[in-house]
Amino acid sequence: MSRIVIVSNRTPGKGPAAGGLAVALRKVLSERDGFWFGWSGKLVDQPGNEARMEDIDGLQVAQLDLAREDHHAYYAGFSNSILWPSFHLRLDLATIESHWYEGYRRVNQQFARALMPLLKPDDIVWVHDYHLIPLASELRQLGARNRIGFYLHIPFPTADALYAIPHHEELMRDLARYDLVGMQAKRDVAAFTEFAEHQAPSTFGGHQAQPIDFSRTEIDAFPIGSDPAAFARLAASPAATKMVHRMKRALGDQCLILGVDRLDYSKGLPQRVEAYEKLLANNARLRRNVHLLQVAPPSRDTIKEYQETSDTLDAMCGHVMGRFAEPDWQPLTYVKRAYGQPSLAGLYRLARVALVTPLRDGMNLVAHEFIGAQDPANPGVLVLSRFAGAAEIFHDALLVNPFDTDETAEALRIALDMPLEERKQRWRSLMDAAEEHNVDDWAINFIERLAPGTARKAGSTRD
Ligand code: ADQ
């Protein structure tokens, strides 16, 4: 039976996996032979071409060190200051330093050189995310003939945003070297197809490039999910219950409105706080009766645009506090710290409303996890951005345009006033959708499409 090789920027660490994705991919590897390949987290002056294979909690992990001088250009530079903002349609926040591409390319070459000696001819290779778009090209250059698939966790950009990315043509040629390219949402497949069918190769310097041949690459949407049943169990666990009791003591009768995100400009956090401010301004009766808890641990905080988002959010939260707080009531709590999944599950369960309002998002797993953690007898309401991939699945959420803070404020009011019967009906439909799109099936479906007949181990009990 073919082995599966999972490749991502970072490999999973020791201890319990932090997210549903890591858990699902570990499960894939626990049911068959294979290994996980990626950066060790170490930077060195002169990296070798060899990865170290290690057993981490029963998982085979091959890790390589990266060159200090390339890592900045590869990670904070090309990946997170060019690709991330452009793919999220935030060209205003992109820093177009085209020379970062060289470091990005070199790291992908280094990944390929270290991975190649570990590959057997019939291994199936599954590459994850925008850091590693060129990897299949680099592996093929070294002679790899394996089935190689790519999954993009973030949205695919519109053609105009794509054209703003230096070397976008090479990147698209790189995508054409995969056998299968998986996207989160139909909208992403449509944007990709639009590019593929109407590509306008650059004519810079009079040079007319050949159109890219995508005929050997299959493109499809594979919307990722969570493990809603696991979240339901987690929400009833002692750790979650402890969090619920703690919060109940603090909140009394107030309804909890919850936001849980990485601190990232794509998540629409300032707009969310503005919508909450409008809710309080327009509905005096809700003051003292609601409380917004926003959990947003900093990420990529060496990048200026992330620091600025953090400063903006600090200022907005301070402004709302100053405007509405009273000596004995605070309208919001803002926590810049990550919580473990059991505590999050408790918070999800207690929340009357989850505000999941990214300006653009690949999927957004917080929406899935919130639904999984609800109490069926008294479920909360999901207010969801129509620009999250999750909006293609969760039709019974209250869908909002996150740029329109009046609309989000009104959706919040409707969510807070929603009768129990309607909350139950909507939640049942959301839970059915979350179960249908669970993360285990997502992984199996992708592998099965990449290499038909190989996703399940002989004798596996899964149907
Ligand atoms: P992210 O942008 O990181 O992921 P998201 O899908 O919302 O966004 O979250 C991923 C995981 O991080 C979830 O398991 C969630 O619980 C956890 N997480 C988020 N905020 C947290 C917090 N404040 N504290 C603790 N944990 C937190 C990228 C894409 C998404 C896509 C995922 C998976 O940007 O669109 O859904 O990959 O493909």
User: In DSSP terms, which residues pair with 221 in a beta bridge?
Assistant: 183
CA gap 262, 169 in Å, rounded: 31
Catalytic residues: 153, 361
E-state strands within 184-285:
218-221, 255-260
Six token digits for residue 371? 């639904």
Q: Name the residue of 272, 355, 364 whose CB sits within 8 Å of the most ligand 1 atoms, as the mutation to test its pocket.
A: 364
Q: Which residue has the higher pLDDT, 319 or 23?
A: 319
Say how far apart CA 31 and CA 456 lie, in whole Å.
8
CA separation, residue 144 to residues 6, 138, 214, 285, 296 (Å):
15, 9, 19, 65, 41
**Residue 415, ligand 1, Cβ within 6 A:** no
106-133, pLDDT tens digit by residue?
999 999 999 999 999 999 999 999 999 9
Sign of CA dihedral 93, 96, 101, 107: negative
On whether the CB atoms of residues 103 and 166 are closer than 8 A, the answer is no
What backbone torsions phi and psi does residue 386 show, to the nearest 5 degrees? Answer: -70, -5
CB of residue 362 inside a 6 A radius of ligand 1: yes
| 39: helix, strand or coil | strand
Average pLDDT of the chain to the nearest whole number? 93
Q: In this predicted structure, which of 387-391, 405-409, 455-459 has the lowest mean pLDDT?
A: 455-459
Nearest ligand 1 atom to alpha carbon 19: 14
Please name which of 166, 161, 108 lies closest in space to residue 132, comparing C-alpha atoms: 108
For atom 28 of ligand 1, the residue with the nearest CA is 153
Alpha-carbon distances, residue 309 vs 143, 268, 391 (angstroms): 44, 10, 24
Q: Give the HSE-up count for residue 124: Cα atoms under 13 Å, Cβ half-sphere.
A: 24
pTM: 0.95
Q: Which single residue is written with the structure tokens 């085979």?
A: 60
- Please tell me the predicted confidence (pLDDT) of residue 395: 98
Q: Per-residue pLDDT for 458 more than 50?
A: no
| Residue pair 48/65 in contact by the 8 Å Cβ criterion | yes
Q: Render pLDDT for 7-28 as a digit per residue (tens, 0 to 9).
A: 999 998 776 555 667 878 888 8
What's the rounded Cα separation, in Å, for the pair 461 and 424?
33
pLDDT of residue 26: 85
- pLDDT value of position 462: 43
**263 CB near ligand 1 (under 6 Å):** no
* Residue 19 confidence (pLDDT): 62
Show the CA angle centred on residue 340, arms to residues 338 and 344, nearest 5°: 90
Q: What pLDDT, on a 0 to 100 scale, did the predictor assign at position 353?
A: 98
Q: What is the pLDDT of residues 325-351, one digit of tens each?
A: 999 999 999 999 999 999 999 999 999
Contact status, residue 367 vs residue 388, Cβ threshold 8 Å? yes
Ligand 1 neighbour 369 (Cβ under 6 A): yes
Q: What's the confidence (pLDDT) of residue 456? A: 62
Residue 21 CB less than 6 A away from ligand 1: yes
Instruction: Name the pLDDT band for 84 (thresholds 50, 70, 90).
Output: very high
Distance, in Å, from the CA atom of 225 to the CA atom of 24, rounded to the nearest integer, reads 10
Q: List phi, psi (to 5°) of 216.
A: -100, 5
298 in ligand 1 pocket by Cβ < 6 Å? Answer: no
How many helices (H) and strands (E) in the chain?
A: 17, 14
- List pLDDT tens digits, range 170-189: 999 999 999 999 999 999 99
Question: Could you give the ipTM of this predicted complex?
Answer: 0.98
Q: Cβ contacts of residue 13 below 8 Å, gap of 6+?
A: 56
Distance 117 CA to ligand 1 centre (A): 33
| Amino acid, res. 107 | V
**Residues above pLDDT 70, as percent of the chain:** 95
If you measure from the C-alpha of residue 236 to the centroid of ligand 1, how many angstroms do you get, rounded to a whole number? 22
Q: Which two tokens stand for residue 111?
A: 């990944």
Closest-CA residue, ligand 1 atom 8, reads 364
Q: How high is the pLDDT of residue 459?
A: 46
Substitution candidate for ligand 1 out of 365, 384, 394, 438 with most atoms within 8 A of CB: 365
**Residue 188 CB–ligand 1 contact under 6 Å:** no
Residue 81 has pLDDT above 90, yes or no: yes
Distance 78 CA to ligand 1 centre (A): 21
- Provide the edge-to-edge strand list for the sheet that holds 353-356: 332-335, 290-295, 255-260, 353-356, 381-385, 398-400
Beta bridge partners of 163: none
Atom of ligand 1 nearest to the CA of 296: 23
Q: Residue 91 contacts by C-beta under 8 Å, 6 or more apart in sequence?
A: 85, 161, 164
pLDDT tens-digit series, residues 216-233: 999 999 999 999 999 999
For the cut 60, the answer to whether the pLDDT of residue 204 exceeds it is no
Tell me the CA–centroid distance for residue 202 and ligand 1, in Å: 36
Q: Is the CB of 339 under 6 A from ligand 1?
A: yes
Tokens of residue 194, six digits: 């639009």
Ligand 1 atom nearest to CA at 365: 6
390: number of Cβ within 10 Å: 33
What pairs with residue 334 in β-bridges? Answer: 294
State if residue 72 touches ligand 1 by the CB under 6 angstroms criterion: no
Alpha carbon distance 244, 339 (integer Å): 14
Q: What residue owns the CA closest to ligand 1's atom 33?
A: 153
